[in-house]
Chain A
Amino acid sequence: MNALVALPVVIPMIVGALSLALWRSLPAQRVLGVLGTGALLAASVWLLITVAREGVLVMHMGEWQGPFGIVLVADLLGAIMTVLGAITGFAVAVYSIGTVEESEEKFGYYPLLHLLLAGVSGAFLTGDIFNLYVWVEVLLVASFALLTLGGERAQMEGAIKYVTLNLLSSVLLLAAVGLTYGMFGSLNMADLSDKFAQTEEHGLITVIGMLFLVSFSIKAAAFPFFFWLPASYHTPHVAVSALFAGLLTKVGVYALFRFFTLLFDQDVGYTHNLLLWIAGFTMLTGVLGAAAQFEFRRILSFHIISQIGYMIMGLALFTPLAIVGGVFYIMHHIIVKANLFLVSGAAYRLCGTYELKHLGGLYRSRPVLGLLFLIPALSLAGMPPLSGFFAKFIIIRAGVEVSAWPIVIVALITGLLTLYSMVKIWAEAFWKATPDNAPAPPQASGPMWPLYTAIGGMALMTVIIGLWAHPIYELAHTAAEQMLDPAVYIEAVLGETR
């Protein structure tokens, strides 16, 4: 019994319930938002330190032993993801103080934020495939409501595509879970991994694996299932965009990493080769889509897709170094991508538009914001010494080691085109003079310091990951070792009953 594992799920749930109780007092909800996500961050970091010291932590819900009861499992991958989720949640909660409209706060912005974080943490920590489905639904329902908060026409149009495709993916996930249970009589990931290893029916396992692959690829916005993302991510409030950009697709990526290292590693020649193709196309389509865009958040949305490609590439190469690169890339990407969305929101606060054609002169008027944009932007493109350089370096090095030249070339081209997009934003929004047709800046509705605090904090983290890459690399390395040796996970979950 280890209650620490449940804390990252329980804290946002309690805080969310408290925010509901404080429905009438928005200032109290704001303070609670920051305190609650801060507590979540503290608990997640505590969990990560404990897992790094003592190995995989397991909590059997209701003292039912695995494989019969639901288990929460924190291995290094799960703990790292939980910390990243908490970092994003905390930054967004601080940022929200200065940006979210009162009309949106009134309709339950903060309770939904906490519910979403609870769902995300739950998905990262559960060790049961049906339970994973439940957590995914929890975070989806919260994201549906957050996406439509405000009720503008664009939000409705985006939400219909988002809701339909995500429900489709959930149904496929549910069907895959049902088929798995029908064939192997278990829902516990560790137990299933054990059973998959013993059975001879590799064909059937691969079929189920493909069903999971399609479902999680929709959630991760991988090629060719990404169309819902650029249709919806630029429509909600920017704080919500940043939260989604940082976390939601990464739940899909996390699930792919978990399932295709722990469960579906029998027929690597087929499954991971397919993943490699998906990775290449995801990178290229994402970055080419971004090159055609002239709206701040749409460019960033397309870049989420291309970056997902790098992570899947790490998984698909399936060498120890590649998995390390994938984990490192997720760590770098969540922080950088959420931060870029936060910067776009700050630009909107100052200029009243997201259209690059109408933006301009930001470097002259706000040089600090320009600097704070450059850090994550150059990191995303992979400039040394920022975090993105090491993330890309490890993954491409892993590709070179196994002589996977086509994917390496695609990854390098994508990096170059990413730089092009970032320079485009820099040149249009920050460098050029304010255009004549610029709209009047909106009336200031809140203080600017929360925006700068959140953006500055995230930028600092990017620099730290870049400058002290070695400890982060060691952490990712240990996580990858655990992932590539399912025996550790199985032993931790089922050890007492076997």
Chain B
Amino acid sequence: MEPVLAIVVGVLFAAAIYLILRRSLVKLVIGLILLSNAANLLIFTVSGFTRAAPPLVPEGLEQPVGAVADPLPQALILTAIVISFGVLAFAVVLIHRAYEVVGHDDLDQMKDTDT
């Protein structure tokens, strides 16, 4: 399972970088969305999979029996999803406003502030 997901993560990163390098604003935001999902999937993959062993403590015991799945990566991913959702919502509003103000969705038309 890990090799498959590793390849998926790689493809997601590559696609995201490709989209970010395009001139279109909309593709830029889609690239950012893919990028944050790629990172989340990376955390999930890199911390390893444990099949059918939920981290639960059986009744009457102090600690779980045998090897159990690590719940922390999922907590990290959940936090990262919430954060990236907020940030990307801002990014979507930003490109909409930028489109309204500039009148283009072409990044090459937005060079006024560059030096």
Q: Is A434 located at the chain interface by the 8 A CB criterion?
A: no
Within the assembled complex, what's the spacing in Å between the Cα atoms of A175 and B111? 31
Q: Is A179 located at the chain interface by the 8 A CB criterion?
A: yes
Q: Is A178 located at the chain interface by the 8 A CB criterion?
A: yes
A159 and B80 in contact (CB under 8 A), knowing A141-B87, A231-B113? no
Within the assembled complex, what's the spacing in Å between the Cα atoms of A158 and B95? 12
Are B20 and A164 in contact (CB-based, < 8 A)? yes
A-B pairs with lowest CB-CB distance, top 9: A182-B46, A178-B43, A156-B98, A157-B110, A182-B47, A174-B39, A158-B113, A171-B39, A137-B83
Which residues of chain B have C-beta atoms less than 8 A from A141's C-beta?
86-87, 90
Are A160 and B107 in contact (CB-based, < 8 A)? yes
A151 and B83 in contact (CB under 8 A), knowing A160-B25, A174-B43? no
Q: Which of B76, B80, B87, B115 contacts A181 (CB 8 A)?
A: B76
Are B97 and A179 in contact (CB-based, < 8 A)? no
Nearest Cβ distance between residue A165 and chain B, in whole angstroms?
10
Are A151 and B97 in contact (CB-based, < 8 A)? yes
Q: Is A148 located at the chain interface by the 8 A CB criterion?
A: yes
Within the assembled complex, what's the spacing in Å between the Cα atoms of A68 and B31? 34
Which residues of chain A have C-beta atoms less than 8 A from B28's C-beta?
160, 164
A175 and B39 in contact (CB under 8 A), knowing A181-B72, A231-B114, A234-B113? yes
Which residues of chain A have C-beta atoms less than 8 A from B80's C-beta?
133, 174
Are A231 and B115 in contact (CB-based, < 8 A)? yes
Query: For residues 129 through 155 of chain A, which have their beta carbon under 8 Å from a beta carbon of chain B?
Result: 130, 133-134, 137, 140-141, 144-145, 148, 151-154
Q: Is B59 located at the chain interface by the 8 A CB criterion?
A: no
Size class of the A contact interface (CB-based, 8 Å): 35 or more
Q: Which of A133, A156, A178, A234 contacts B97 (CB 8 A)?
A: A156
Quick one: closest A residue to B9, CB to CB? Answer: A175
Q: Is A235 located at the chain interface by the 8 A CB criterion?
A: yes
Q: Which residues of A contact B (CB under 8 A)?
A: 130, 133-134, 137, 140-141, 144-145, 148, 151-154, 156-161, 163-164, 167-168, 170-171, 174-175, 177-179, 181-183, 185, 227, 230-232, 234-235, 289, 292-293, 298
Are B46 and A178 in contact (CB-based, < 8 A)? yes
Which residues of chain B have C-beta atoms less than 8 A from A158's C-beta?
113
A-B contact pairs, 26 of them (CB 8 A): A130-B76, A137-B87, A140-B87, A141-B90, A145-B90, A153-B101, A153-B102, A156-B94, A156-B98, A156-B101, A157-B111, A157-B112, A158-B113, A160-B95, A160-B98, A160-B107, A164-B28, A167-B87, A170-B87, A174-B80, A178-B73, A178-B76, A182-B48, A230-B114, A230-B115, A231-B113
Are B115 and A159 in contact (CB-based, < 8 A)? no
Residues 7-50 of B, flagged 1 when their CB comes within 8 A of A and 0 if not, give 00000000000001000010010001001101110110011100
Within the assembled complex, what's the spacing in Å between the Cα atoms of A292 and B32? 33
Q: Which of A137, A152, A159, A230 contacts B94 (CB 8 A)?
A: A159
Within the assembled complex, what's the spacing in Å between the Cα atoms of A431 and B28? 46
Within the assembled complex, what's the spacing in Å between the Cα atoms of A161 and B113? 10
Quick one: closest B residue to A156, CB to CB? Answer: B98
Q: Which of B46, B48, B112 contacts A153 (CB 8 A)?
A: B112
Quick one: closest B residue to A186, CB to CB? Answer: B72
Main secondary structure on B side of the interface with A = helix
Nearest Cβ distance between residue B27 and chain A, in whole angstroms?
12
Nearest Cβ distance between residue B105 and chain A, in whole angstroms?
11
Are A168 and B46 in contact (CB-based, < 8 A)? no
Nearest Cβ distance between residue B57 and chain A, in whole angstroms?
16
Are B102 and A144 in contact (CB-based, < 8 A)? no
Nearest Cβ distance between residue B99 and chain A, in whole angstroms?
9
Nearest Cβ distance between residue A191 and chain B, in whole angstroms?
13
Are B90 and A157 in contact (CB-based, < 8 A)? no
The interface centre, meaning the residue of A167, A231, A293 with most chain B CB atoms within 10 A of its CB, is A167
Q: A145-B90, A177-B76 are in contact. List 13 more A-B contacts (CB 8 A).
A: A134-B83, A137-B87, A148-B97, A153-B101, A154-B113, A157-B102, A160-B25, A163-B91, A164-B32, A168-B20, A174-B80, A178-B39, A178-B47
Are A156 and B90 in contact (CB-based, < 8 A)? no
Are B42 and A163 in contact (CB-based, < 8 A)? no
Which residues of chain B have C-beta atoms less than 8 A from A151's C-beta?
97, 101
Nearest Cβ distance between residue A108 and chain B, in whole angstroms?
13
Nearest Cβ distance between residue B78 and chain A, in whole angstroms?
12
Quick one: closest A residue to B76, CB to CB? Answer: A130
Within the assembled complex, what's the spacing in Å between the Cα atoms of A230 and B36? 26
Within the assembled complex, what's the spacing in Å between the Cα atoms of A298 and B115? 9
Nearest Cβ distance between residue A234 and chain B, in whole angstroms?
7
Residues 67-87 of B, flagged 1 when their CB comes within 8 A of A and 0 if not, give 000101100100110010011
Which residues of chain B have C-beta atoms less than 8 A from A153's C-beta?
101-102, 112
Are B35 and A163 in contact (CB-based, < 8 A)? no
Nearest Cβ distance between residue B92 and chain A, in whole angstroms?
11
Which residues of chain B have C-beta atoms less than 8 A from A130's C-beta?
76, 79
Within the assembled complex, what's the spacing in Å between the Cα atoms of A227 and B38? 25
Quick one: closest A residue to B103, CB to CB? Answer: A153
Within the assembled complex, what's the spacing in Å between the Cα atoms of A483 and B38? 34
Quick one: closest A residue to B93, CB to CB? Answer: A148
A168 and B35 in contact (CB under 8 A), knowing A163-B90, A163-B91? yes
